[in-house]
Structure 1
Amino acid sequence: MSGFTSDALDMYAYSTPFITMDGLDFMAVLEQRIRLDELIRRKKRHASETGHCSLTVAKILADGE
């Protein structure tokens, strides 16, 4: 719920099958600022295109508006 350490993000930063989700992601879904399926789709696309496991919901919402 409180995010990820920089060491954890560095370990899985590139060429990873993982995507990260934290409390801010879930709050955005619960507040209906983004649908869960859209959030996951955007995070998966980012990971696929960049190889990086982390994309913040704030960045997704800023890019989508």
Structure 2
Amino acid sequence: MSYDHQEIGDFANERDAQDWAERNGIDVRDLHLRAVRGRGVTLSVRRSALGDSATSDLSYGRRTGFF
């Protein structure tokens, strides 16, 4: 089964991406992490997990969790 994901951005490592998800109330089962050579990981989140209850401004994580 395939799910539609929204790319959130790049993180230095997997732990940083998971910490961002936790701060934003997103279950780790809804994450998709892709290694980016020399740049850490790219985080995508299943769109259905974002829903209406998700933080409307996900850029907050970009200022605090991204490199």
Establish whether TM, by shorter chain, passes 0.5: no
Greater helix share, structure number? 1
Normalised TM-score (structure 1): 0.29
Greater strand share, structure number? 2
